Amino acid sequence: MRVMRQAMFVLVVVVLFAVAGVWANGRSADEPQTRIIHMTARQYAFEPSTIRANLGDTLVFRLQSADVMHGFYLEGHDVEAVITPQSPYVELRRPSEPDARPQKVEEIVVTADRTGKFRYRCSHTCGTMHPFMMGELVVAPNRLFIASSWGIVGLTAGLAGTALSSRKKQNGA
Ligand SMILES: [Cu+2]
């Protein structure tokens, strides 16, 4: 009788987790987004100074300077650019390819392919406070991914529970 009750409990837990997983999936099926970021550099800050994105998002940076020449180096994404005032173009360099010629581009496209915090900073000396000119890109895990993870946790707990109760059954508990 006790075994039956345990088995029922396990079953209920499994079903609850499964339902929760499906519900969360359906509710927040976060398709990766394209985010256009209009970034203004001025002595001695970037605006915005924080960018939030989800894993898988495409980030399109449009950079401009409100005063003097600035740089834009994005940690971990192989991006470094020079921003010239009153120009729609920036000169993009890939730090991993130091010998390649800089490209003149209107926007810099980056895929948020890793979670975490990535700093961006000015990479072109622009004045006394230049070393403090920085911001942060925060890439969060996708909610879809979290929902599936909870489903897996539920399934694992359920299987473990079932294995445990069937072992007890064999022992005649
Ligand atoms: Cu600067």
The torsion angles phi and psi of 99, rounded to 5 degrees, stand at: -90, -10
DSSP state at residue 67: S
Residue 51, phi-psi category: left (phi > 0), alpha (psi -120 to 50), beta (remainder): beta
- Six-digit token string for 61: 């940076």
Count of C-beta atoms within a 10 Å radius of residue 63? 26
pLDDT digit string (tens) for 34-54?
Answer: 999 999 999 999 999 999 999
- Distance from the alpha carbon of residue 129 to the mean position of ligand 1, in angstroms: 8
Which of 51, 52, 28, 57 minimizes the C-alpha distance to 143?
Answer: 28
Report how far apart, in Å, the C-alpha atoms of 21 and of each of 16, 31, 37, 125, 155 are.
8, 17, 32, 50, 10
- Distance from the alpha carbon of residue 77 to the mean position of ligand 1, in angstroms: 19
Q: Please state the pTM of the whole predicted model.
A: 0.69
Q: Which residue has the tokens 């969360």?
A: 24
- Distance from the alpha carbon of residue 84 to the mean position of ligand 1, in angstroms: 11
- Distance from the alpha carbon of residue 57 to the mean position of ligand 1, in angstroms: 27
- Distance from the alpha carbon of residue 101 to the mean position of ligand 1, in angstroms: 22
pLDDT digit string (tens) for 87-144?
Answer: 999 999 999 999 999 999 999 999 999 999 999 999 999 999 999 999 999 999 977 6
